[in-house]
Amino acid sequence: MDVFLSPPAVLCCAGNSRESFFEAACRGDQGGIQRVVTSGGRAFLAGRIPGALPEAPELPGLAAPPEYAANTRIFRIAAAALEELRPSIEKVRNLYGAGRVGVCLGSCDNGTEASVPAHRAFFAGKGFPANYELRFQGASLLAEYIAGISGVTGPALTVATACASSAGALAKGAEFIRAGFCDAVIAGGADIVSDTVLLGFSSLETVSDTVTNPFSKNRKGITLGEGAAFFVLAKDDPGDSCGITLLGAGESADAFHMTSPREDGLGAVQAMQAALSGAGIGPGGIDYINLHGTGTPLNDRMEALAVQAVFGEKQPPASSTKPVTGHTLGAAGALELALCWMTLAKAPRASAQKDGKAAIPAHCWDGEYDDAMPRLRLGEKYFPAGSAPRTCMSNSFAFGGCNVCLIAGKR
């Protein structure tokens, strides 16, 4: 059973709508990557959303003081992104009823904006503030908030599997529908560039001092980012999907190491093969791969080996778009599936024109291949003239060996 995908809602440093985001990704516009300074004075390059974010709508039942949850940055980002999804949410809520629409959210944020000031007070000997509760630093709070402001009362679930979180949330949302728990699901992810995130990844020595350079022999590590992306998944086409569905989703858990990927890429291979099996297609049926492509030495090498193992010498064009967005952690899978959706939705318009070419999201790098790993088809800007891609694969490979592969396409 295919599950229909609504047009995505997107907010990140590369764009405040799906259209602007897709255009920036195809241009390879890295202007959203800027210098960010932590409260302690350390500077990093990061994909932080520019300007002031609108205040998040109040949700009386949430009972969370603004300084701890209700109007913190991650709530503002999620609420602002969801505005673009509101027409699709209203359609399925009217079609199925609020109780048949669920929420599946992916995020790495565990309420850091709420917990850091409260713990500072505690360790200063002042105790926790009177209006602070432990639940304010739980990842589930954002899913509860999204359900509330969207007016839906179906099951609400949070997936917190590091960089694969929102890809896993989309997979789980489709499972909710196929299992009959819901008729539609608001699914996606949101994450922020907080001091905790920047300093935490820096302590792992994985952050690059230049913009991330995935699959290059000169790669140094990741560039962090923030953002949100959401879809409405539905069992029927509400009329705005452009016929695009979630054809397949594959997950694996190789549990090789707490932070390092399994070196031979077996877990990634298993996730890609499971997605292909779920979609009922072979490797030759994939027209484009949005790579996880973090720019770390181990992750890129593992993914290149995995793609080679699955696709052999007949690989489709591929790119990592993290040099444009930064690595948005829990939001990355949904953001990158949004690019796949736009690639499919835009392609027929281009291919219908004389000598028209459908654009491929850019792979921004220095072009210096690493001969220690298989070469991928990186840097191609267009599909062949007159052709329209029908399937796109999106990879998300996370800490702890949590691997998710999603395939979007048209039958």
User: What residue spans define the domains of the chain?
Assistant: 3-365+374-409
Question: What per-residue confidence (pLDDT) applies to 133?
Answer: 85
Over the stretch 127-160, which tens digit does the pLDDT of each residue have?
Answer: 998 888 888 888 788 999 999 999 999 999 999 9
Strand positions, DSSP E, 58-134: 101-106
Question: What per-residue confidence (pLDDT) applies to 226?
Answer: 97
Classify strands 101-106 and 43-47 as parallel, antiparallel or unpaired: unpaired
Helix (H) or strand (E) holding 335: helix 332-351
Active site residue 292: yes
Helix (H) or strand (E) holding 73: helix 73-82
Active site residue 363: no
- Using alpha carbons only, give the angle 157, 158, 161 rounded to the nearest 5 degrees: 140
- Per-residue b/e over 258-295, b at no fewer than 16 CB within 10 Å? eeebbeebbbbbbbbbbbbebbebebebbbbbbbbbbb
CATH topology classification for 3-365+374-409: Peroxisomal Thiolase; Chain A, domain 1 (3.40.47)
Task: Enumerate residue ranges in the chain where pLDDT < 70.
Answer: 63, 354
Question: What per-residue confidence (pLDDT) applies to 6?
Answer: 98
Residue 7 identity:
P
37, two tokens: 């300074």
Token pair 């890809």: residue: 167
Q: Exactly one of 182, 292, 364, 405 is catalytic; name it.
A: 292
CA–CA distance, 72 with 55 (Å, rounded to integer): 9
Q: Exactly one of 26, 104, 163, 182 is catalytic; name it.
A: 163
Question: What per-residue confidence (pLDDT) applies to 292?
Answer: 97
Residue 229 identity:
A
Question: What per-residue confidence (pLDDT) applies to 354?
Answer: 63
Question: What per-residue confidence (pLDDT) applies to 222?
Answer: 96
Q: Exactly one of 327, 340, 402, 405 is catalytic; name it.
A: 327
Over the stretch 98-127, which tens digit does the pLDDT of each residue have?
Answer: 999 999 999 998 788 777 788 888 999 999
Token pair 């399937």: residue: 391
